[in-house]
Structure 1
Amino acid sequence: MENPKIGVISCSGEECLGGTLSRMATRKVMDELRSGEVVSLCLPLYIARGGEDREFAKKHPVIAVDGCEKCCAKEATIKYSGEVKDAVVITDLIGDTARDNEPISMRHLRTNEKDMVDQVAKEICRKVDSIYGR
């Protein structure tokens, strides 16, 4: 039997580096590292009555990727669809740098920020693999 898709709902915060890292890492996992295994859920749409995304999250495992300890993606999923299967909190993974640094343009990432994206993407992949039992 084919594995079900896993939803990844990432932070949409623009006020800190963690939000940018969460979106970039989610994209990298979806497009490159676990292509065909995960889909991205849109947090703003999800909160604003995103019926399809909410229904998907009720029927499929979801990983929340939050840029800071506010955990907006996780909390929205719990509120509208039920428990998340797993979660990544970037400030727990990378530290306060993710919360305290200014947001950056995705087009102008420096090497250390690219390394942070890779670190977060690796953690998301670890959670995807765990859900699939690999």
Structure 2
Amino acid sequence: MEKKKYALAPCSGMSPYGLITRAASSDVVRERDDLISICMGATSADREGFKELIKKYPIIAVNGCEGACVDKILLQKGVKVSKVVNAQEELNSANLKPTDPVRLDENGEKCVELLKQKITKLID
């Protein structure tokens, strides 16, 4: 039986949490054949082809924080996300906090690993 395919939509914010969502999402997509990733910048800008893409697969929003920008942007485009991960909430509950918005240090990599586990658990 073929696995259900999902699209991951990570936060594109310029906070350390945004970086963690993008790195974790990119890693998980690379490791699995039942996922694709959605570019939130292209989605926001109504780039050609993205209106169809965001409606093709159920979307897992990987929000960086409680602002839930991914959910809000997709809702503005007429798409309700099927599942949600809040990176800041997940990392806080594990006493982890990323510190750099553009580079992954050892702590950032720990954050990415935890978030990858949460995303994978949500899918499986």
Alignment of 1:62-101 (within 5 A): 62-95=59-92, 97-98=97-98, 101=99
Alignment of 1:53-68 (within 5 A): 53-68=50-65
Q: Secondary structure at the match of 2:13?
A: coil
Q: TM-score with structure 1 length normalisation?
A: 0.81
Which residue does the alignment assign to 2:11? 11
Matched residues, percent identical?
Answer: 26
Shift of 1:104: 3.8
Once superposed, what is the RMSD of the aligned Cα atoms? 1.8
CA–CA distance in structure 2, aligned partners of residues 29 and 61 of structure 1: 16
2:2 is aligned with 1:21: no
Alignment of 1:43-58 (within 5 A): 43-58=40-55
Structure 1 stretches (4+) deviating beyond 6 angstroms?
A: none
Q: Secondary structure at the match of 2:85?
A: strand
CA–CA distance in structure 2, aligned partners of residues 97 and 12 of structure 1: 18
Q: TM-score with structure 2 length normalisation?
A: 0.87
In terms of fraction of residues, the more helix-rich structure is 1
Shift of 1:58: 1.8
